[in-house]
């Protein structure tokens, strides 16, 4: 079986969110299960300039891409890692930018990416069984395939929704302007939602199976919770819309072998292990009192991640008996407010950057992870935290609800965190509750053990994806 992922992010090359981890880990698992897996990814500047790319990538083809009146060129490079082939879509003008997202012409950049990906699938990779699209950036590939396919074409499509807020929206005439497609696809509704062209909607209709990254988020999207209009179309997919809970790369995130942390530890010596990590990190960050619990936030500082909750409560939060470390970048307003309130405090530190190494250190050192997401299709930070014996305190949404068992006095044999209802003032109450819990060493110890025992590897999820791929191929054969 030949599976091609189309994604705007993938490790080990580039990452903004959990999407990069999913595409990487799932492909790796597919190959171990004897599936031919490859990934099509834009050749961003940061990849092109890396030593790994310079040493290992091969230019395998140069394609001409027509985008309406624009005559464009695309260099396709090939790079193999863990037996997964990455096809990197090169175009200086579109992808030699400082950041991956956030440019005024993002729509056009990913339109180019989709046109080029479709050509790579048809002319370079060939004989593909499954195209697995992730989010809106590659969604137009399914529409291009629908428009051009001939009778011998057997490609099946899967779409995975990681973030429903971004859907690839444009005007009716942009179908021609960016994709050389007739406006007919707007008029007949296939690519239309709420009177706009919507690429994600088209991919939902044209995919044999649509997935999202947790069962609870699947239900939320069907019921119109944080679904940004997709509730109008997703219920029509019936059982072809599936929630598959993401896993975690348990090799990369393993406190027993982690090369970034100050002291390695396992379930048996977690107390002393975490204590050492905490003392060293706090000293390095200039935080004074390691006897108080250390809370952390490791997140994009965005609306989705519920950072307004932190900002609105930050002064009250910092008056409590705790330490707080924040790591992440995001919306400028959040960044400014958080650094303003944390600056020169003895118990708080705000690091406005992405750093994989620091993130590992903070997961290992912290007692609690705060994750007040407004919506969270799956979430990866809580999975990492659990593995490092760091107790997640999270809102009761999406994948957080599916991976965290909230503590109450009757369930300390299974509880691994705390969940709160987003709409209440429960956030601060839960933090206060956690500070109290921290002083109850016996219960705390149990919850930490439960957390470290929570299973989250990719084995189960990859088996489910393989089952769904097979089901799609089978259905195709039966319908012939």
Footprint of ligand GLC (CB under 6 A): 17-19, 22, 162-163, 213, 246, 376-380, 399
Provide the 10 A C-beta neighbour count for residue 229: 17
DSSP 50-88: SHHHHHH-EEEEEEEEEETTEEEEEEEEEEEETTEEEEE
Strands, E, within 169-300: which ranges? 169-170, 192-193, 196-198, 209-212, 241-243, 294-298
Yes or no: say if 148 and 180 are a contact pair by the CB < 8 Å rule: no
Q: Which is nearer to ligand GLC, 73 or 356 (CB)?
A: 356
Q: Which is nearer to ligand GLC, 162 or 201 (CB)?
A: 162
* Shortest distance, position 378 Cβ to ligand GLC, whole Å: 3
* Shortest distance, position 66 Cβ to ligand GLC, whole Å: 32
Secondary structure (3-state) at 221:
helix
Q: Which is nearer to ligand GLC, 144 or 461 (CB)?
A: 461
Q: Which two tokens stand for residue 305?
A: 């991640």
Q: Which is nearer to ligand GLC, 18 or 389 (CB)?
A: 18
* Shortest distance, position 55 Cβ to ligand GLC, whole Å: 29
Q: Which is nearer to ligand GLC, 380 or 452 (CB)?
A: 380
* Shortest distance, position 9 Cβ to ligand GLC, whole Å: 9
Pairing of strands 58-67, 70-81: antiparallel
Q: Which is nearer to ligand GLC, 311 or 461 (CB)?
A: 461
Yes or no: say if 473 and 156 are a contact pair by the CB < 8 Å rule: yes
Q: Where are the alpha helices (DSSP H) in 67-191?
A: 92-95, 106-119, 140-148, 174-179, 184-187
* Shortest distance, position 381 Cβ to ligand GLC, whole Å: 9
Q: Which is nearer to ligand GLC, 119 or 401 (CB)?
A: 401
Instruction: Determine the Cα–Cα distance for residues 119 and 323; give it in Å rounded to an integer.
Output: 53
Q: Which is nearer to ligand GLC, 372 or 377 (CB)?
A: 377
* Shortest distance, position 246 Cβ to ligand GLC, whole Å: 5
Rounded to 10 deg, the angle between the 426-438 and 441-453 helix axes is: 110
Instruction: Determine the Cα–Cα distance for residues 86 and 270; give it in Å rounded to an integer.
Output: 38
Q: Which is nearer to ligand GLC, 293 or 377 (CB)?
A: 377
Residue 352 exposure: Cα atoms within 13 Å on the Cβ side: 14
> Which residue is nearest to ligand GLC, using beta carbons?
18
* Shortest distance, position 96 Cβ to ligand GLC, whole Å: 25
Instruction: State phi, psi for 319 to the nearest 5 degrees.
Output: -85, -10
* Shortest distance, position 394 Cβ to ligand GLC, whole Å: 11
Q: Which two tokens stand for residue 266?
A: 């396992």
Comparing CA positions, the residue from 458, 374, 335 lying closest to residue 25 is: 458
Q: Which is nearer to ligand GLC, 20 or 128 (CB)?
A: 20
Yes or no: say if 376 and 398 are a contact pair by the CB < 8 Å rule: yes
* Shortest distance, position 374 Cβ to ligand GLC, whole Å: 10
Pairing of strands 169-170, 196-198: antiparallel
Yes or no: say if 179 and 363 are a contact pair by the CB < 8 Å rule: no
Comparing CA positions, the residue from 225, 58, 57, 206 lying closest to residue 138 is: 206
* Shortest distance, position 56 Cβ to ligand GLC, whole Å: 26
């Amino acid at each position: 079986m030949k599976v091609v992922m189309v994604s705007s992010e993938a490790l080990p090359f580039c990452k903004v969110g959990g999407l990069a981890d999913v595409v990487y880990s799932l492909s790796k698992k597919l190959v171990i299960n004897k599936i031919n897996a490859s990934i099509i990814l834009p050749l961003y500047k940061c990849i092109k300039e890396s030593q790994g790319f310079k040493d290992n990538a091969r230019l395998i083809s140069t394609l001409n891409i027509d985008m309406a009146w624009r005559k464009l060129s695309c260099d396709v490079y090939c790079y193999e890692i863990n037996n997964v082939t990455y096809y990197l879509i090169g175009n200086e003008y579109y992808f030699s930018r400082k950041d991956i997202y956030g440019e005024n012409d993002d729509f056009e950049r990913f339109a180019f990416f989709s046109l080029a990906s479709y050509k790579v699938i048809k002319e370079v990779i060939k004989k593909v069984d499954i195209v697995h699209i992730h989010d809106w950036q590659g969604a137009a590939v399914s529409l291009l395939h629908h428009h051009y396919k001939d009778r011998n074409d057997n490609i099946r499509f899967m779409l995975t929704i990681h973030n429903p807020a971004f859907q690839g929206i444009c005007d009716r005439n942009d179908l021609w302007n960016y994709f050389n497609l007739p406006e007919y696809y707007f008029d007949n509704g296939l690519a239309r939602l709420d009177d706009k062209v919507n690429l994600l909607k088209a991919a939902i209709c044209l995919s044999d199976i649509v997935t999202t990254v947790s069962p609870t988020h699947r239900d939320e999207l069907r019921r119109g919770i944080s679904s940004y209009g997709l509730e109008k179309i997703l219920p029509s997919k019936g059982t072809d819309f599936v929630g598959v809970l993401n896993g975690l790369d348990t090799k990369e995130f393993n406190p027993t072998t982690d090369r970034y942390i100050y002291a390695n530890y396992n379930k048996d010596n977690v107390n002393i292990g975490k204590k050492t990590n905490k003392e060293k990190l706090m000293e390095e960050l200039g935080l004074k009192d390691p006897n108080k619990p250390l809370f952390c936030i490791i997140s994009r500082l965005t609306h989705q991640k519920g950072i307004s909750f932190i900002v609105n409560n930050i002064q009250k939060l910092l008056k409590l008996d705790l330490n707080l470390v924040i790591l992440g970048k995001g919306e400028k307003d959040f960044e400014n407010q958080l650094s303003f309130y944390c600056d020169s405090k003895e118990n708080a530190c705000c690091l406005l950057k992405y750093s994989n190494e620091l993130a590992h250190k903070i997961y290992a050192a912290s007692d609690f992870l705060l994750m007040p997401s407004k919506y969270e299709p799956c979430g990866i930070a809580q999975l990492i935290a659990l593995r490092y014996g760091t107790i997640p305190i999270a809102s009761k949404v999406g994948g957080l609800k599916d991976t965290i068992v909230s503590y109450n006095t009757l369930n300390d044999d299974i509880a691994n965190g705390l969940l709160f209802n987003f709409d209440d003032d429960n956030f601060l109450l839960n933090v206060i509750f956690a500070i109290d819990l921290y002083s109850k060493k016996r219960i705390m110890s149990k919850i930490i053990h439960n957390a470290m025992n929570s299973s989250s590897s990719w084995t189960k999820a990859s088996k489910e994806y393989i089952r769904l791929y097979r089901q799609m191929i089978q259905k195709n054969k039966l319908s012939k």
